[in-house]
Amino acid sequence: MSQIFINLKHKAKLGILSLTAFAVLSACQPEAPSSQTKQTQQAAKKATLDDAKQYVADAEVSLEKDFTITNQAFWVQANFVTDDTNALAAKAGEEATKKAVKLALGTKAFIGLKLDYDTQRKLDILKSGLVIPAPDDDQLTAELAQITSGLDATYAKGCTEDGQCFDLTELSNTLADSDNPDEMLSAWLNWRKVSPQMRSKYQRMVEIANQGAKQLGYKDTGALWRSKYDMDADAFASEMDRLWNQVKPLYSALQCHVRAKLNAKYGDDVVSKTGPIPAHLLGNMWAQSWDNIYPAVAPKTTTQAIDLTKRLEIKGYDEKAMVRTAENFFQSLGFKRLPDTFWQKSLFTKPRDRAVQCHASAWDLSTTDYRIKMCIQKNAEDFVVIHHELGHNFYQRAYNLKQDFLYRNSANDGFHEAIGDTIALSITPKYLRQIGLIEKEPDASGDIPFLMKKALDGVAFLPFGLLVDKWRWGVFNGEIKPDQYNKAWWELRQKYQGVKAPVSRTEADFDPGAKYHVPGNTPYSRYFLARILQFQFHRELCKTAGNTGPLHRCSIYGNKDAGAKLKAMLEMGASKPWQDALEAMTGQRQMDASAILDYFAPLKNWLDEQNKARQCGW
């Protein structure tokens, strides 16, 4: 799928990511209302407030006109991955690029004018809405469309240049289920045989995109990405570091404990007692989530952890039943059920007769057409992911029904990811009992095991969520040279995650490309921000719901007051800076990771006890 701008979907934490409502807006839209760039620049001195208002009004009409048909084209490509659909997607991306670039460049005509709030904000959205911006050049636009579509298709097919193909789901299952380090290493290496062919194309894409970003007035494409957060681009990078430093002590304690347990299981020859952990041992293809190794690191307790996968099987849940359960959660908060078209048009299971992009994603095709695309597996992980994806759909519908077209998006992209994750935090034993998946909630002796399992997912993810874009920002601004792509990737992974490649890697490899969001050009900071925001949101919604117990035991399921507060923020869309939306929800104007520390406080105390005799750090 061509993703010249923002991806046309919201994708889940496992493999991929996300569509913002505005994604589609800047990605693949109709003819820009502006004239040619040179003519627009010549007329700049004559532009008036009325001209700017008319420009925005024409843009919104034009962008909305082809919204559905454009998304349908990308939906088909994602659900029927063939050379033909890839070609069609590339062509759609090429045409969209031409239109969106002209639309963005046209905003220059109004620089320096004193504009009303909405006109200025909408012009800024038009300007910064591009993700991989092409220059105002037809040949380069066509080349960029071919590259981005090809990168996406290469990942989706999972085949090497000589025709050797790999199934990511099968390889991931090996990492999740095997106790054999050699088997895990083989699975880890096989998936990374697909990405080296992306390297030269990715380098060329960066060159073209940076030309486009500079035409829009940005230093590079990374600066364009960081400009979307209602603050200075460099200040945003500093804000990410500030939030990381808040949570780093918790992550470091977790890494220390996990390393010690893996050393005890596999021995010094496989993982040492000090230093970084080999990436293939952590139960996930990218070592971004560690919950699959829970049995190896679990606290000793007489209380058995809830096996949600087994409970789903015992209760006879199929794929659609899992989705209906997630929909029921939102209905319990006061949201209306999803339209019938959701059930008729979504993809819930992997087809046997064709290649599809299996990465979980939520789609917004019109104000009445919302879908998910997901090859659901009947397990605990996908049960949580489904709640996450429906969070996107309910967010999309909330602002679609309230906001002008250019405001149909989340307050920032981290908000979009955080909403579903906030709901997922309410998947507690209490909730599972309320919906009949378990008969009895474990007592307090089960809290540490519960928090450990949550931390192996949410806390373990934090440094990975930070470093993916740090790598790309360095690539875009030239600090990371093309002949250092892989070296820089593993340096960042060791610095932030305390994780290393299990075998020697060279610049013949392109390991960043083994993570979908890199060839798919999905900005990744949103996932890091979502991990921060979800706990901040959860703490406030639990307070609204009258929770007086531990934060990790709170579920807002069935609480209409919490639902009303959530809905009010969702309906704001992108009409106000994210600081305003955050304040409306939490009373704070700054993102704050202290809620994570509050949530995991009992686990942190327990980890510190376990780590007393260990040498932590890497």
Helix (H) or strand (E) holding 174: helix 168-177
Q: How far is the C-alpha of 503 from the C-alpha of 332, rounded, in Å?
A: 49
248 — alpha (psi -120 to 50), left (phi > 0) or beta?
alpha
How many beta carbons lie within 10 A of that of residue 615, not counting itself? 12
The per-residue DSSP string of 426-450 comes to: T-SHHHHHHTTS-SS---GGGHHHH
Strands 18-19 and 369-373: unpaired
How many beta carbons lie within 10 A of that of residue 374, not counting itself? 28
First to last CA, the chain: 39
How many beta carbons lie within 10 A of that of residue 387, not counting itself? 24
Question: What does the block give as tokens for 467?
Answer: 């470093």
Closest CA to 28 of 119, 193, 145, 139: 145
* Whether the Cβ atoms of residue 440 and residue 612 lie closer than 8 Å to each other: no
Question: What does the block give as tokens for 213?
Answer: 């970003």
The per-residue DSSP string of 21-65 comes to: HHHHHHHS----SS--HHHHHHTGGG--HHHHHHHHHHHHHHHHH
Closest CA to 144 of 186, 100, 188, 205: 205
Using alpha carbons, list the distances in angstroms from residue 375 to 3, 320, 382. Answer: 21, 11, 9
How many beta carbons lie within 10 A of that of residue 59, not counting itself? 25
Question: Does 257 participate in catalysis according to the annotation?
Answer: no
* Whether the Cβ atoms of residue 7 and residue 19 lie closer than 8 Å to each other: yes
User: Which amino acid is residue 226, in one-letter code?
Assistant: R
Helix (H) or strand (E) holding 202: helix 199-215
Q: How far is the C-alpha of 308 from the C-alpha of 288, rounded, in Å?
A: 21
Helix (H) or strand (E) holding 490: helix 485-492
Q: Which residue is associated with the tokens 């750090």?
A: 617
Closest CA to 530 of 398, 420, 426: 420
Check 517, 538, 540, 552 and give the catalytic one: 517
Check 60, 239, 327, 389 and give the catalytic one: 389
Closest CA to 226 of 535, 448, 444, 474: 474
Q: Which residue is associated with the tokens 């990218």?
A: 286
Q: Which residue is associated with the tokens 């050797």?
A: 164
Distance of CA 533 to the CA centre of its chain: 13
Question: Does 416 participate in catalysis according to the annotation?
Answer: no
Q: How far is the C-alpha of 511 from the C-alpha of 198, rounded, in Å?
A: 10
* 222 contact partners, CB below 8 Å, separation of at least 6: 469, 472, 473, 474, 475, 476, 477
Catalytic residue IDs: 389, 517
